[in-house]
Amino acid sequence: MQTLQPNDKNELASIIRDAKGENVRLEIIGSGSKRAIGRPVEANYRVSSAQMSGITLYQPKQRMLSVKAGTHLDVIEDALEKYQQILGFEPVNLGGILNTREKPETIGGILATNISGSRQIHTGSAKNHLLSLRGVNGFGQIINAGGDTIKHVTGYDLRRALTGTWGTLVFMTDITLRTLPKPEQTQTLIFSGLLDVLAIELMNKAMATPYEISGAMHLQAPLVKNLTTEQNRATGQSLTALRLENFSFSTPCRMQKLQDLLGPFGDHIILDDDESHDFWSDMRTLKFFHNSKGPLWRIAAAPNMASEIVSAIKSHHPESIAAYDCAGGIIWLQTPLRSDAGASEVHRAVLNRGGNATLIRADKELRSNTYVFQPVDTQIKSLMKRIKMAFDPFGILNPGRIYEDI
Amino acid sequence: MSSLNIRKPSEKVLWNKVKLQLELKKHIGSDHVIIDTEGCNIYSRDAYTSYRQTPLAVVLPENDPQVIDTLQFCRTYEIPIIPRGAGTSLSGCASAYEDAVVLCLSRMNKIVEIDYENRTVTAQTGITNFAISETIAEQGFFYAPNPASQMSCTLGGNIGTNAGGINALKYGTTSAHILGMKFITIEGDVIQLGGNFGDSIGYDLGAFLIGSEGQLGIVTEATVRIIPKAENARPMLIGFETEKDASKCIAAIMRSRITPSAMEFMDKTAIQISRPTVDYGPSDKEQLKNTDALLLVEVEGSETEITAQLNVLEGIAFEHFHTFTKISNTDEDAKDLWQIRRNLYPALCKQAQTYIIDGTIPANTLPDVLPKVRHICANYNLQVIHIFHAGDGTLKPIILYNSHDAEDSANVTKAVSEILRLCLRVGGYLSGEHGIGLEKRDLMQDQFGPHEIGQQTRIKHAFDSRELLNPGKVFPVNMV
């Protein structure tokens, strides 16, 4: 399939307008690092943001960064590092689990999927950090949404609404993000050998404190062997981690208070700055799932329902393995290699307890034949279709990426 | 704003007014419907005073079925619906029309569930913002969005305008705190989005609804995220010789690692006007003489953390030619410093009527914009005061005027338009937290091009193809 690489938003708009006239469907990509997620798109051409790349404005004093959508994440993070700033939502790097390491992630792709990392438990997901965006809709019109300020209520909030729409409503071209100061010191409190239920109780007890936990993760025992550092691999037992990030005058005090509170949960160790960095880098790349090939689900749930959801799925697929991020609010679940990835059991378990499931890793055939995204009821589906019609009535942009008809 | 181009009322509805009023009362129940003129007048406007119309009727539902029945009735007779909470909108989001039914959710004000385990509260949207925080305070939690009207404004109104407040700099606006919601479409379908988990699937329909000023559906219930209260919070008052120094100090604080839980700016006129009623302390009299701007900055944490952060802030203030700093060392001190800010608005109201403008500007334009706003107001013989949440881009000039003086009122209208256009010229937006409503509707053409307004109105049609939910607001009438 031919890949078109427009140089700017006007060229892109022209391509989409032409597509409208010729009944052509377009697959929207950044670098293609997330092409293996979602339903495969049947399209005539591929359009990439590769040529729309670069930082257009960085104002560290305003905590604001404007970039073109095709800008690689590492370019952005290098620029922020110079001013000791970060992206608050800690984008997840899926290259290791999707085997697309050679394709650097683009900021457009990250916002189109809204898959955010462990820090979202404290600072919110990518959409909470998006100040404004520009994109081209299915009419070939350039649309601006949002403003370069935290507060903004001028018409419908398209910047949040368009984040996570997988390129089915607009092709993002320009993005302005809020940046955050890089924490001065990071420490991680690690418990070993806790069962899921107890680990989730511990994490949520910590989350109810005022110590601003910025990461709460529990890995089941079989996942620990894949971690980078020997110290974390050594026990071979499940591992529960809580991250504190703050000033150097704050983190150790808060850590002490946390230890005092959570001590009864058992033995624990503290990782310092560098060790913490290594550990959370593993979490950010989902390193614990790199050496496996089974279908991988991302499940959003109420934290107190998380272990029950996993147990319900495991009762059908005992080989399933889970990592609980965000104190249980996000579950990364690997199911056995089967024809349907355990989809019906996963969807049922989630439906009965609240939440939603997205199939992140699976082969193309499976993604074509099962619900990659949690099925929704007819009223919501009908509303989604009407929204699709409002942006892309000719079905040009990423047709069928989310559901067969969206 | 008397020159507002208001949508044409439905002649059919007006012609059958009495019949429809009686039928509505019968349909919903007389305890839940107001049709007498005096009663309806109370709902004729919100806190936007420039436009009012007595509505056809007011419905005060207590449950979803009554909301559904009201929508069904209005669909049948093609009657516009004005969703309303406490009516605190300053932009006319809840201004009524003579052919419309006001659907006021103030009786739907119950807490449905408090879930400390998952740190959420589910409540009907007629509950006041403050009631949520008050209910969970004993357990050490709070609900972060806290607009100035939080004692009376409702959760539904906050959702409609994506309300922020003093703490938005650190905690974000309403959209960052809504995990789920139940809304009723114009067709009467009840749709549950999300719940006590924080992620949407497919399209985030909630993101369309938050900030939509009641134009897309009637949100009757919402699940909000609640946050553990900080151990302590302490403000610090900093005086500056010039506004420019204060603006630069704001930028320097934002550049530092400290994220204040609040940062409030007050200009020289605010200080002068408030002097008779606000106690700045006897030792500050001399310093205030040379002070053109004040910043009230609050930080949170343990006592040790607060002391360390305030030391850092003091250092930043020193680098920006501060005239004085006043640090709160105790809860009592903190209360006193906040009282300065809280007393300002009542002090202003004693002087004259106030018109609060709400725009946003890029933070680096602040030093240029403040004097330009004064210049605009001076051209119309109006006095203006700058008090705003600093660091989050909001600009809130408060114009003092005499609403009984026709010329003064006309001048306010002109000045407001000019100031908002100034916001647009420097790269800002028409509203940071009040919404567009009727007040700024016609300026949307200056903010957005026809494609963008076209896109937004297509979204409106996707949710409400009948154009019955809060019509004639947000978008210019000739562009819908």
CA distances for B436 relative to B54, B121, B152, angstroms: 21, 29, 20
Out of A59, A326, A402, the one facing B202 most closely (by C-beta) is A402
User: A367-405 burial, b for 16+ CB within 10 Å, e for fewer?
Assistant: beebbbbbebeeebeebbeebbebbbebbbbbbbbbbee
From CA A149, how far away is CA A142, in angstroms rounded?
21
- pLDDT score of B289: 79
- pLDDT score of B279: 65
Q: Cβ–Cβ of B304/A380 closer than 8 Å?
A: no
| Mutation choice for B interface testing from A154, A168, A184, A347 by most B CBs within 10 A | A154
Out of A84, A156, A300, the one facing B197 most closely (by C-beta) is A300
Q: Can you point out the beta strands (E) in A10-90? A: 26-29, 45-48, 55-59, 64-68, 85-86
Confidence of residue B1 (pLDDT cuts 50, 70, 90): very low
- Reduced to 3 states (helix: H, G, I; strand: E, B; else coil), residue B143 is coil
For residue B272, count other CB atoms closer than 10 A to its CB.
11
Q: Give the residue-averaged pLDDT of B401-429.
A: 94
- In sign, the C-alpha dihedral spanning B32, B34, B39, B44 is positive
Q: Closest approach of chain B CAs to the CA of A348, in angstroms? A: 15
Q: Which residues of A touch B173 (CB under 8 A)?
A: 150-151
Residue-wise pLDDT tens digits, B238-273: 999 999 999 999 999 998 999 999 999 999 998 887
- pLDDT score of B477: 86
From CA A151, how far away is CA A129, in angstroms rounded?
11
Residue-wise pLDDT tens digits, A261-302: 999 999 999 999 999 999 999 999 999 999 898 999 999 999
Q: Closest approach of chain B CAs to the CA of A153, in angstroms? A: 5
- Reduced to 3 states (helix: H, G, I; strand: E, B; else coil), residue A275 is helix
Q: Which among B360, B306, B294, B354 is positioned nearest to B331, based on CA atoms?
A: B306
Residue-wise pLDDT tens digits, B314-358: 999 999 988 889 999 898 989 988 988 888 888 888 888 999 999
pLDDT at B277 over 70: no
- Token pair listed for B58: 């007011």
Residue-wise pLDDT tens digits, B200-244: 888 999 999 999 999 999 999 999 999 999 999 999 999 999 999
Q: How far is CA B368 from the centre of its chain?
A: 25
Q: Give the residue-averaged pLDDT of B6-11.
A: 94
Q: Cβ–Cβ of B436/A182 closer than 8 Å?
A: no
Q: Are the beta carbons of A313 and A336 closer than 8 angstroms?
A: no
Name the residue type at position B160.
G
Residue length, chain A? Answer: 406
The larger pLDDT score, comparing residue B84 to residue B339, is at B84
What percentage of chain B carries pLDDT values higher than 70? 97
Size of interface A-B (CB pairs under 8 A): 244
- In sign, the C-alpha dihedral spanning B383, B389, B391, B396 is negative
From CA A352, how far away is CA A350, in angstroms rounded?
5
- Token pair listed for B234: 């302490």
pLDDT at B2 over 60: no
| Mutation choice for B interface testing from A144, A152, A171, A347 by most B CBs within 10 A | A152
Q: Does A252 touch chain B (CB under 8 A)?
A: no
Which A positions 115-144 lie with beta carbon below 8 A of chain B? 120, 124-125, 127-128, 137, 139, 141-144
From CA A334, how far away is CA B252, in angstroms rounded?
46
Q: Give the residue-averaged pLDDT of B189-199.
A: 90
Q: Give the residue-averaged pLDDT of B439-467.
A: 96
Low-confidence ranges of chain A (pLDDT < 50): none
Confidence of residue B280 (pLDDT cuts 50, 70, 90): low
Task: Characterise B468 by phi-psi region: left (phi > 0), alpha (psi -120 to 50), beta (else).
Answer: alpha
From CA B297, how far away is CA B233, in angstroms rounded?
10
- In sign, the C-alpha dihedral spanning A85, A87, A89, A94 is negative
In the block, which residue shows the tokens 């997620």?
A: A37
pLDDT at B439 over 90: yes
Q: What is the mean pLDDT of chain B?
A: 93
Q: Cβ–Cβ of A148/B447 closer than 8 Å?
A: no
- Reduced to 3 states (helix: H, G, I; strand: E, B; else coil), residue B170 is helix
- C-alpha angle A369-A375-A376 in degrees, rounded to nearest 5: 150
Out of B161, B197, B429, the one facing A301 most closely (by C-beta) is B197
The larger pLDDT score, comparing residue B465 to residue B339, is at B465
Residue of B nearest to A86 (CA): B257
Predicted ipTM > 0.95:
yes
Burial of residue A55, with CB atoms counted within 10 A of its CB: 0-12 exposed, 13-18 middle, 19 or more buried? middle
The larger pLDDT score, comparing residue B270 to residue B98, is at B98
The larger pLDDT score, comparing residue B117 to residue B346, is at B117
Name the residue type at position A128.
N
pTM: 0.96
- pLDDT score of B286: 72
